[in-house]
Structure 1
């Protein structure tokens, strides 16, 4: 038997709109209904509608014209195509846990004195009591991107930047952080950031890997503990869930 995978809601919405386009209910070249109208007609959130529209544009059913809005494409794809999958919340947290420690290990031998000073400034900046949560998060993002840049591999930089962009799609992530003030966030992660810096100062790739793994697990696990099956992501693939449950054993 294969694991049962829940279809993300945005894909169901994309399928519904695709069917309407192919049935002629939305003619080629016609302006797409406003997001608000689709929210009311389909009974989903605005976030889900926007994600569905992105999928439809990538599939070739919808085009966006600057200043005018979204329109049904003049020429439709020859055959229905599958909406491109977007990462679920569990997938995002697990991917970061698996990938960022390896990026830290790759960076460790190449973190020079100037890089280390810059990273320490970012950690110190996060502890500034006058900063708001958004500013602390920006410094946190810069910390992780700077580590990726130290590897000299632009793909690693793109991956870390993509993690930060993707996780902002999930309202639960924002809600969870908004329940904490900036000082709490900075204090919660300061020791973990400093452990990563200690590994870099020693040019110890294995220690950097371990420290980043602890940090990614500790920053992701509280969100997963609060997560419920929401329309932004739904239940994870059973294989992903099994691996995340193994975190407690150090896997």
Structure 2
């Protein structure tokens, strides 16, 4: 092996370019459409279903892209009315974005938390069951207080992770909850319904009851039902 070959063999790999998130791609395509169609401030964008079809993307990706543009001041999302070009459009956004989008996080949670719930059903101690119940009761009490209700929601899922007896799983669930970015909160603000809020209380009760019964398959199924319901609602498919 000559010196040049050795140099190539031990050369450090090139730095990987930042991953392009689908919602950033969608946001860029919407901005391009606005420019190409010369849409003026105050102009209404096509309805979501039509826009998703024309861009060949899912409703979930479309909604993430719209919310990203709203946060940047490019568009305005008006509940019950539609999406409009902002009166003060921002420059085109860079499509490279760090961090997962809301639907990526929900997909990861569906994979992981279903098994966490099943493991909790197998391993939960009486004290762990009490902690899960306390979180459910607090969520029911704070139903009208969004901030307290969300904290109780987080406590519920973290308590289930603690009930597994595996501290690594607690860290994973905590990480996933910390991915709730401004994009997530604005998405929830626009698309979370009262029907979903009521269903979530029932879902949490069903998860708790399955864990108390030591019903691993029931706990797995109840958690999957809950997270799929949230995903459907935020994606435009109803609770």
- Residue 188 of structure 1: aligned partner: 199
Deviation at 1:129, TM superposition (A): 5.1
- Residue 212 of structure 2: aligned partner: 201
Deviation at 1:101, TM superposition (A): 0.4
Q: How many residues align?
A: 156
**Root-mean-square deviation (CA), in Å?**
3.3
- Residue 106 of structure 2: aligned partner: 93
Q: 1:175 aligned to 2:186?
A: yes
CA separation of 1:183 and 1:125: change in aligned 2, threshold 3 A: farther
Q: Give the whole-Å Cα distance in 1 for the aligned partners of 2:205 and 2:220.
A: 13
Greater RCO, CA 8 A, separation 6+: 1
Summarize the alignment of residues 1-251 of structure 1 with structure 2, pairs less than 5 Å apart: 7-8=20-21, 9=24, 43-44=92-93, 86-128=99-141, 131-166=144-179, 168-171=180-183, 173-179=184-190, 186-225=197-236
Unaligned runs of 5+ in 1: 1-5, 11-35, 56-85, 227-251
Post-superposition Cα deviations, 1:220-241, rounded to whole Å, max 9, x if no partner, equal: 2211228xxxxxxxxxxxxxxx
Tell whether the 8 Å contact from 1:129 to 1:183 is kept in structure 2 after alignment. no
CA separation of 1:186 and 1:115: change in aligned 2, threshold 3 A: farther
Q: Give the whole-Å Cα distance in 2 for the aligned partners of 1:186 and 1:152.
A: 29
Q: Give the whole-Å Cα distance in 2 for the aligned partners of 1:138 and 1:41.
A: 33
Question: Secondary structure of 1:178's partner?
Answer: helix
Length-normalised TM-score, structure 1? 0.53
Deviation at 1:87, TM superposition (A): 2.3
Tell whether the 8 Å contact from 1:196 to 1:212 is kept in structure 2 after alignment. yes
Deviation at 1:131, TM superposition (A): 5.0
Length-normalised TM-score, structure 2? 0.55
Unaligned runs of 5+ in 2: 1-18, 26-71, 73-88
Question: Secondary structure of 2:175's partner?
Answer: helix
Q: Give the whole-Å Cα distance in 2 for the aligned partners of 1:213 and 1:130.
A: 22
